[in-house]
Structure 1
Amino acid sequence: MEDPREAVRAVAVTIRRGEVMTYGAIAFTTGLHPRQVGRHVAALEDIPWWRIIHADGTPPPATAGPPPPCSRRRTSPSAADGWTSAPCSTAPPQHRRPLRRHRMTTINSLWPTPGTALTDEQLLQSYAPPSGPWLRMNFVSSLDGAVTRDGLSGGLGDDADQRVFELLRRWADVILLGAGTARAEGYGGMRLPEESERWRVEHGLAPQPVLALVTQRLDLDPASSVFADAPVRPLVFTISEAPAESREALAEVAEVVEVGETVVDPMRVREELGRRGLRRIHSEGGPTLFSAFLAAGAVDELCLTLAPTLEAGPAHRIAHSTLAVPTAMELAAVLQGDDELLLRYTRARA
């Protein structure tokens, strides 16, 4: 299998002067997640990183400011494939904050059972969910609580986080995601690599997990690669007041399920997934969805990577809502990879 960092490099070096490409477009081309693309872009020093932009066409803060005129702009036949048209800089800004180069790293277990240089299989067993219904949230955060850098989670985690991020998906019957996060992070068709597919089949799971999106407004593009390239027909959870026209359009490419009148009911989401035999629920955010499920008592576990960085700035926390929802958790495991800590918490027993 091609090294993912080299795959990102191979795509990035093809972006010509006067052209730009989004994190999501690189993710779609390489088969990676935009969060993984962000990490590799941060680590690579010999690519035109200033030409890689957000899905909405805006550059990261390091490249903000009036850009010089471009000789060309990359245009897209549709937003579905991740391309966008936006002003771009043809020379790298000189004030980019330097980032240390990422290194391939081993992962050690600190608690409850000490161990060094854990294999993928050992990591998978350490993260094995219970046999019954289970909802796991997975996030990365800076030491001061920021959930994103430059608006994306991809710049925060190092290689240990990326390794666990990929492995956690293997256990999932369904991957649950807020529509806003899917747009911001540039998700495409949810297809796990062949190695993960083989592992899942050997362990009695479906070859690929189902992707389930949560949206109250149904503001999703039916032509998006999220649907067009999905190996399994996605689920879309929404409310009865959602626009009828959008519902009809999305029903052509996904199963649209009502789980509330005016707001999405997280417990109904879990019930509907359970009815379809999708008991192991793995959620990748975002903060608003996490808050809603936390308030409903629908979260069983949190996997949280603490990235070795302080960010400051306006970034949200991993859970974002207007009301506080104190929820007691119990520490289940602590892993370490270089300077990262990978924490696993489960909901405290009553």
Structure 2
Amino acid sequence: MSKLIQSLKAKMLQSTKLLQQLASDRSRNAGRSPDTEHDYLRLGQSLLRRAKVAQDGLIGVVSDTLRPSTFQKRMSALRFTLQQRQLELLGSIIEPVSDEQAQRHIAAFDEQIARVQALLELRRRGLGGLRALRNSKRRALSGLPPDWRVQLCNRGRAGRYGAALLVAALTGCRPSELERGIKVWQTQDAATQEIEIHFEVAGAKVKREQGQPHRRLTYAAGDTHPLLSMIKALLPGTAETPVVVQVASAMNFSAEVQRLAGCLWPSHPHTVTAYCLRHQWGADAKRNGDADAVSRGLGHLSRKTQRVYGTASQGKPAHRLKPLRIEAERPVKGTAPEVAPTDPDEPESAS
């Protein structure tokens, strides 16, 4: 056995042992969804590319944040990405291995080892320095005009994301769910003869004990809310064939929401993101007095999650959305205090 082959085997063993140190019991069997793994790989590969040109390498790139949540997400993404890379490296070795091939493999394992060692050092250090306050999207709603969603959708109506903006506002969907495509169609109720508008969302962040695989929101076509008037203009009469509203990139959609909001309210102290539409939808549902509707409509399996989305006072009486029905595939679990419906004539909160 040549010295190069011996060295290669030693590198393989070293990188495997280092990865075992890096992987916690929780991360070995985290029950990640395919969407989460896809996001982790995309983020991890991006961080590794940035580390090649960064002055402080991978440690500097991962530590370049004041937010503990961002730091932990980067750590998790890199841990998963390096685990996948290890499998690729081991799978690429096909015997017999020539000396030239061994040299290439050794160089690849050296890079892998350096990355894992950097991640171990990051885990030892943790996130130092001052920590930024969490930029709550719920807080970002404060100070926006009561009809801010209508203004936003009107501003972007002629652009490539015009339909997606409307669907996000009317459903509170995640940007990643728009990537999958959301079905929109009209039907006529057989009993009442009223026209109804339906939205069907295939949920993201769905696991065995988390999330709603599918949910459906139904509005009355006769509802005079401006957002519904705009979506009706995009639908072909009462045809029951769904229109699929979809974006190619959730990230680009979110960037467009920020751009439009920046043009409309340049002095607003908080960043308005696509998730603000989600929080506003939750605020409307709370104002309507149905706590479970928040969980069903936003795609959650637990009632507890609804607490972080909007407040009833942010559901403005003259501008809130009022779905006829909100149906989810799974029953909502847990308990949450009922949200008392607010008198529509009650003066609006300053927030």
TM-score interval (norm. to shorter): under 0.3
The higher relative CO (CA closer than 8 Å, separation ≥ 6) is in: 1
- TM-score between the two structures when normalised by the length of structure 1: 0.22
* Structure holding more strand per residue: 1
Superposition TM-score, scaled by structure 2 size? 0.22
Structure number with bigger Rg: 2
